[in-house]
Structure 1
Amino acid sequence: MASQFLFLALIAITCSIALATDPSSLQDFCVADPVRSVPVNGLVCKDPRFVEANDFSFSGLHLAGNTSNTVGSHVTSVNVAQIAGLNTLGISIARIDYAPWGVNSPHTHPRASEVLTVLEGSLQVGFITSHPENRLITKILHVGDVFVFPVGLLHFQRNIGYGNAVAIAALSSQNPGVITIANAVFGSNPDISSDVLTRTFQVDKDTIYNFQSRF
């Protein structure tokens, strides 16, 4: 009985791991074809006869992003929209630049876990566990340090230095998606009802209108 239970447990763990990322490819590659618009979960494959090296490459991650904005950060994403060859591979990457004291605002990736590596500067990073604990797990990272953000959990980064900071993020999806909390809540289209937001945040409508005007 114990051996049967162990076998079933191993099967369950294996299945959960298999379902944790994008579906596995059933061929060498499936380069995305932006011309065809067949509705599928992902992107339609380009005819392999017309695949070329440029379908698997991207140039530009050596360039610093423009951090002259309200939050003081810039994300340069490299996902299937930039490299068609990432289609079905379940991976992507991004460069994040931070101005002094800049933040990558609290956000989630609904389809990916993230592994962040600091290349320059020092960052405070953190994520929040799900309800009911809502526990903040946070750490200060320096050059060469690595931190993991589990899939779907709210997380952030903040440059805690007087100089610029740079990090590289690897994500477990060709199209991780991003939901930035402030932008989603106060900048939705159309607006979320002020009645909903005043009750949620326990503030008056003028405060809500002020926030919505910023996004």
Structure 2
Amino acid sequence: MASRVVFLSFVVFSFSSVLASDPSSLQDFCVADANNTALVNGFACKDPKMVQADDFSFSGLHLPGNTSNPVGSKVTLINVAKIPGLNTLGVSLARIDYAPWGINPPHYHPRASEIFTVIKGSLEVGFVTSNPENRFITKILHQGDVFVFPAGLIHFQRNLGTGLHLPFQV
């Protein structure tokens, strides 16, 4: 009898391990509280009863950035500082404006992939793989095209005359 209990306990434990998954969030959101200096995986959460629609909104992405600088591009980052409702969600958004032949210099995002859409013009994009071959993957994109850069890989974008895209970093 005792051996059956042990066997059944083992079977139940085995199935519970197989059915395990990531836990759901403990709360629907954690709007950043600008008045609190404590950091909790981001910023401290605003009291949910005080949250408003404006905590999840930003106006101004339609405004072009100033590209008169040495690289000929301007990144307008929309993060938790501009949309407090992004706190702890692991996502941000950016608009990049380019002067003719402007570049978003090689860079990487250690904890996030990047996806973007070309709104106008043409862009050359590329990244370098981290495998032993260190392959260079590049493509010319046009209006309406979408491209993804995997997390942690060095990548760039270069305007081929005129263009604009809105990358969504996830």
TM-score, normalised via structure 1 length: 0.67
* 1:106 counterpart SS class: strand
- Give the number of equivalent residue pairs: 152
Q: 2:32 touches 2:85 (CA, 8 Å); kept in 1?
A: yes
Deviations 1:120-155 (A, max 9, x none): 110000000115221100000000000000001100
- In the TM superposition, 1:44-55 aligns within 5 A as 44-55=44-55
Q: 1:25 touches 1:89 (CA, 8 Å); kept in 2?
A: no
Q: Shift in Å at residue 26 of structure 1?
A: 2.3
Structure 1 equivalent of residue 8 of structure 2: none
**Structure 2 Cα separation of the partners of residues 32 and 57 of structure 1:** 13
Q: 1:159 touches 1:165 (CA, 8 Å); kept in 2?
A: yes
List runs of 5+ in structure 2 lacking aligned partners: 1-17
Q: 1:165 aligns with which of 163, 166, 169?
A: 163
* 2:143 counterpart SS class: coil
**Structure 1 Cα separation of the partners of residues 99 and 46 of structure 2:** 39
**Structure 2 Cα separation of the partners of residues 39 and 90 of structure 1:** 15
Larger Rg: 2
Q: 1:24 touches 1:89 (CA, 8 Å); kept in 2?
A: no
Q: Shift in Å at residue 115 of structure 1?
A: 0.5
Q: 2:114 touches 2:168 (CA, 8 Å); kept in 1?
A: yes
Q: 1:119 touches 1:166 (CA, 8 Å); kept in 2?
A: yes
**Which structure has more helix as a fraction of its residues?**
1
TM-score, normalised via structure 2 length: 0.83
**Structure 2 Cα separation of the partners of residues 24 and 153 of structure 1:** 29
Q: Shift in Å at residue 156 of structure 1?
A: 0.1
**Which structure has more strand as a fraction of its residues?**
2
Q: 1:111 touches 1:151 (CA, 8 Å); kept in 2?
A: yes
Taking every aligned residue pair, what percent have the same amino acid on both sides? 68
Structure 2 equivalent of residue 182 of structure 1: none
Structure 1 equivalent of residue 62 of structure 2: 62
Structure 2 equivalent of residue 126 of structure 1: 126
**Structure 2 Cα separation of the partners of residues 58 and 39 of structure 1:** 23
List runs of 5+ in structure 1 lacking aligned partners: 1-10, 173-215
Q: What RMSD in Å do the two structures reach over aligned CA positions? A: 1.8
Deviations 1:140-180 (A, max 9, x none): 0000000000001100000012xx311011111xxxxxxxx
- In the TM superposition, 1:125-144 aligns within 5 A as 125-144=125-144
Structure 2 equivalent of residue 114 of structure 1: 114
